[in-house]
């Protein structure tokens, strides 16, 4: 078998309108400045996308980019990124996935594929080491995702497939790769708008080898050690999946209940990962390769199903007033077949329930009742009746009918399952996240609630931590390592692990600049250096993360995004949670001005020309 040392630096450019394929050679400078996966994908789109283009038009480009670490056997590295202009938000959208397509594409010899144009009739792409074939997909159009997977996929291939929701341009349609999904921002609708039912890659043609095998081996060994020593990665997520978050979130009063009217419910514990594991014969069902193994499947009503992830449990469970994991698992299965993002679906259904309660819309859906929800999912996916309006998301609904205060979205993207009124830093992270209400841009809820290293109800220092984790997260999404490795790689390093928690908390809260200098993220840039052979220091590596983040922000400002869009839903700023006696709301503006200053943005939240030049973006 032939070998690829580090990266092939070859990206396919596919135009569906003309059925033409070009091969783009990634330059050393692009690789050094923008790393890979999300970073490189953004750079390639920045050079090609016209500001103001229709997200569902032929000029939009969707990029699928395997990670730098893909195929090397690095821990939790079987991930790839998709990037495009989102039809849900109208700004840059991205999503990370652990399905098999990324490995198939990379081991076919390609470091990415960019798809533009629109096919005359339904097609799917077949990619191998020789390039791309355009194949007729008419017979698969209208079919659900599992049926198409059964028809075209096999053990040697990895696929991307949309369901009816993507075909019908539901603005939060997703894309499936195996049993994993590119969930957020409506990327499935982009494929649907291009008459692209699927992308199939035949892998196994190349072996991916690090350029410095000995160094890679040493860093990999340390990475495995940290993952297998950390209580979150080795115990909580490995045993209970991401639903290990339910109990600490319930305790911290941030579990979404009844469209984020509250953060706690007496039945909330019924959704906890520990309870699901005890009652549903759960076992691992993970991305490959994975050391953490947070994915699980179980038995629900006698049927094998994926255990819903925490975001699904929160948004389609407690947020709808439903505390039966069996019911949520069934809806999760329906969404998986139809190709619906469960976060935006749950957020939109919750808005409809509250709007109906307040007399703004007519709907039989109401909190605490499962009746009608399965039918509503079908109506959304097929754009039937009121489902056609729900398919546009909660921002569109609230703009038409009112109720903007309780449309729990930012920049058009529905919020994930953490209430920021109990985690102020996480609230800032939501407000400024580039793709909208994203919990993964800077996951401060862990520092504020899970590890109690930052006071959740203080604003001091939060802007600096949000900025730091945004930059580091961009590095991780360029490597495409699982973000859960953050727990292990940062907390198990000796300096952090053996510093007394009160001392660490004091430094993090009141001396964040000093604490950030002490953070050991060397595993990430060690993996980068050993795989690519491009030496980057810790500071250079984080600077690349900053560059990626600012580039994405700049691309959004070209679409009209300014500081006015860095907001939280009105409910988070004006209403306290029902069960919170102090009725805390998020003091967002206290943190925003400091964040802009630290970032080098102007007072309107726009990157300055000086910053863009310093980062070599323009």
The CATH code of the domain that includes 391 is: 1.10.569.10
Paired tokens of 99:
């399905």
Domain edge (last residue) among 146, 181, 209: 209
The burial class, CB within 10 Å (0-12 / 13-18 / 19+), for 307 is buried
How high is the pLDDT of residue 365?
98
Tokens encoding 601: 């943005």
SS (H, E, C) 182-232: ECCCCHHHHHHHCCEEEEEEECCCEEEECCCHHHHHHHHHHHHHHHCCCHH
Percent of the chain topping pLDDT 70: 100
CATH number at residue 548: 1.10.599.10
pLDDT at position 464 is 97
Lowest mean pLDDT among 119-133, 141-155, 286-300: 286-300
**How many domains does the chain contain in total?**
3
Same domain flag for 235 and 196: no
Element (H, E) at 124: strand 123-128
Shared domain for 591 and 510, answered yes or no, is yes
Residue 355: CB atoms within 10 A of its CB come to 23
Total Cβ atoms within 10 A of residue 50: 11
Of 527, 589, 524, the residue nearest 563 (C-alpha): 589
444-450: average pLDDT:
96
Residue 553 has pLDDT above 90, yes or no: yes
pLDDT at 213: 97
488-514 average pLDDT score? 92
> Residue 205: is it exposed, middle or buried by C-beta count within 10 angstroms (0-12/13-18/19+)?
middle
Among 361, 386, 414, residue at a domain's last position: 414
The pairing of strands 206-209 and 2-5 is parallel
8: left (phi over 0), alpha (psi -120 to 50) or beta: alpha
The band of 495, judged by pLDDT with boundaries at 50, 70 and 90, is: confident
Q: Which two tokens stand for residue 376?
A: 């509503």
Q: How many CB atoms lie within 10 A of CB 263?
A: 26
Q: Assess whether 375 and 347 both reside in one domain.
A: yes
Cα→Cα distances 593→38, 400, 602, Å: 27, 31, 9
CB-CB contact of 292 with 484 (8 Å): yes
Q: Is the pLDDT reported for residue 289 higher than 90? A: no
Asked if 165 and 241 sit in the same domain, the reply is no
Q: CA-CA distance, 540 to 263, in Å (whole number)?
A: 40
Q: Rounded CA gap, 111 and 514, in Å? A: 38
Q: What confidence score (pLDDT) does residue 288 get? A: 78
Do 400 and 492 sit in the same domain of this protein?
no
Q: Judge if 296 and 227 occupy the same domain.
A: yes
Of the candidates 454, 48, 144, 101, the residue with the CA atom closest to the CA atom of residue 40: 48
Asked if the model's pLDDT at residue 174 lies above 90, the reply is yes
Based on the domain organization, do 587 and 475 belong to the same domain?
A: yes
The domain containing residue 352 runs over which residues? 214-414
Q: Using an 8 Å Cβ cutoff, are 219 and 121 in contact?
A: no
- The residues near 382 (Cβ < 8 Å, ≥ 6 apart) are 164, 168
Mean pLDDT on 335-354: 98
User: Which of 393, 414, 435 is the last residue in one of the domains?
Assistant: 414
Helix (H, G, I), strand (E, B) or coil at 15: strand
**What is the spatial order of strands in the sheet that 180-182 belongs to?**
131-136, 123-128, 196-202, 157-161, 175-177, 180-182
Tokens 């929160």 identify what position? Answer: 314
Task: Find the farthest-apart pair of alpha carbons in the chain and give their distance in angstroms, rounded.
Answer: 66
Residue 1 has what pLDDT? 83
Q: 202: which strand partners? A: 157
Neighbour tally for 483: CB within 10 Å: 16
Q: Collapsing DSSP states into helix, strand and coil, what is residue 113?
A: strand
pLDDT at 410: 98
Q: What is the pLDDT of residue 287?
A: 84
Question: What confidence tens digit (pLDDT) does each residue in 22-41 have?
Answer: 999 999 999 999 999 999 99
As given in the structure block, the two tokens for residue 228 are: 């297998």
* Whether residue 322 is found in the same domain as residue 432: no
pLDDT for position 117: 98
Mean pLDDT for 76-88 is 97
What pLDDT was estimated at residue 609?
96
The reply to whether 98 and 177 lie within a common domain is yes
**491 in Cβ contact with 453 (< 8 Å):** no
Q: 109, 10 in Cβ contact below 8 A?
A: yes
For residues 267 and 187, membership in a common domain is answered with no
Q: What is the pLDDT of residue 222?
A: 97
Q: Which of 147, 382, 128 is nearest to 137 (CA)?
A: 147
Give residue-wise pLDDT tens across range 236-263.
999 999 999 999 999 999 999 999 999 9
User: Which DSSP helix (H) or strand (E) runs through 452?
Assistant: none
Asked if 230 and 275 sit in the same domain, the reply is: yes
Confidence of residue 277 (pLDDT cuts 50, 70, 90): very high
pLDDT in tens, 141-172: 999 999 999 999 988 899 999 999 999 999 99
**Which residue's entry shows tokens 């450019």?**
13
**DSSP labels for 43-109?**
HHHHTTPPTT--TTSTT--EEEEE-TTTTTT-TT---EEEEEE-TTTSSEEEEEE-STHHHHHHHTT
Same domain, 135 and 12: yes
* pLDDT per position as a tens digit, 295-322: 999 999 999 999 999 999 999 999 999 9
Enter the tokens of residue 81: 């990124």
Q: At 17, which CATH number?
A: 3.60.9.10
Average pLDDT of the chain is 96
């Amino acid at each position: 078998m032939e070998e690829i040392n580090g990266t092939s630096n070859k990206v396919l450019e596919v135009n569906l309108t003309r059925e033409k394929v070009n091969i783009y050679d990634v330059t050393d400078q692009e690789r050094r400045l923008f790393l890979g996966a999300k970073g490189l994908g953004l750079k390639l789109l920045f050079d090609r996308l016209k500001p103001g283009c229709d997200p569902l038009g032929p000029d939009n480009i969707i990029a699928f980019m395997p990670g730098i670490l893909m195929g090397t056997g690095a821990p939790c590295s079987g991930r790839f990124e998709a990037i495009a202009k989102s039809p849900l938000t109208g700004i840059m959208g991205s999503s990370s996935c652990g399905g098999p397509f990324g490995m198939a594409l990379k081991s076919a010899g390609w470091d990415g594929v960019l798809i533009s144009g629109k096919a005359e009739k339904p097609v799917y792409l077949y990619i191998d080491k020789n390039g791309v074939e355009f194949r007729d997909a008419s017979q698969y159009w209208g079919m659900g995702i599992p049926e198409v997977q059964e028809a075209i996929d096999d053990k040697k291939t990895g696929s991307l497939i949309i369901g009816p929701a993507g075909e019908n341009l539901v603005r939060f349609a997703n894309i499936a790769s195996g049993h994993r999904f590119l969930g957020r921002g409506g990327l499935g609708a982009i494929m649907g708008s291009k008459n692209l039912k699927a992308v199939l890659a035949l892998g196994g043609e190349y072996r991916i080898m690090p350029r410095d095998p000995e160094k890679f081996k040493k860093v990999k060994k340390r990475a495995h050690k940290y993952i297998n020593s950390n209580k979150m990665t080795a115990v909580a997520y490995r045993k209970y999946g991401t639903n290990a978050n339910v109990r600490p979130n319930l305790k911290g009063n941030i579990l979404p209940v009844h469209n984020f009217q509250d953060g706690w419910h007496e039945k909330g514990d019924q959704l906890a990962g520990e309870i699901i594991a005890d009652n549903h014969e759960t076992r691992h069902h993970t991305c490959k390769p994975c050391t953490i193994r947070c994915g699980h499947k179980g038995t629900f009503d006698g049927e094998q199903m994926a255990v819903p992830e925490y975001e699904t449990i929160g948004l389609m469970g407690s947020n709808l007033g439903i505390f039966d994991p069996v019911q949520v698992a069934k809806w999760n299965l329906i969404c998986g077949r139809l190709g619906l993002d469960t976060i935006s679906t749950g957020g939109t259904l919750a808005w409809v329930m509250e709007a109906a309660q307040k007399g703004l819309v007519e709907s039989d859906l109401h909190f605490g009742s499962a009746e009608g929800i399965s039918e509503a999912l079908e109506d959304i996916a097929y754009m039937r009746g009121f489902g056609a309006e729900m398919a546009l998301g909660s921002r569109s609904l609230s703009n038409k009918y009112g109720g903007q205060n309780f449309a729990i979205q930012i920049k058009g993207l529905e919020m994930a399952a953490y209430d920021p009124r109990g985690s102020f830093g996480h609230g800032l992270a939501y407000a400024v996240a580039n793709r909208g209400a994203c919990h993964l841009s800077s996951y401060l809820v862990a520092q504020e609630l899970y590890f109690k290293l930052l006071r959740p109800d203080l604003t001091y220092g939060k802007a600096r931590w949000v900025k730091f984790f945004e930059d580091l997260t961009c590095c991780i999404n360029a490597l495409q390592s699982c973000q859960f490795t953050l727990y292990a790689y940062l907390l198990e390093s000796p300096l952090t692990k053996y510093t007394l928690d009160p001392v660490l908390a004091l430094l993090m809260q009141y001396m964040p600049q000093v604490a950030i200098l002490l953070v050991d993220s060397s595993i990430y840039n060690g993996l980068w250096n050993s795989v690519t052979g491009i030496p980057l220091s810790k500071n250079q590596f984080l600077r690349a993360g900053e560059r990626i983040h600012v580039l994405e922000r700049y691309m959004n400002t070209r679409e009209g995004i300014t500081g006015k869009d860095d907001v939280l839903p009105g409910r988070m700023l004006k209403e306290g949670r029902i069960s919170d006696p102090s009725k805390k709301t998020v003091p967002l503006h206290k943190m925003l001005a400091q964040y802009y200053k630290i970032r080098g943005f102007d007072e309107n939240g726009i990157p300055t020309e000086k910053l863009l030049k310093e980062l070599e973006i323009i």
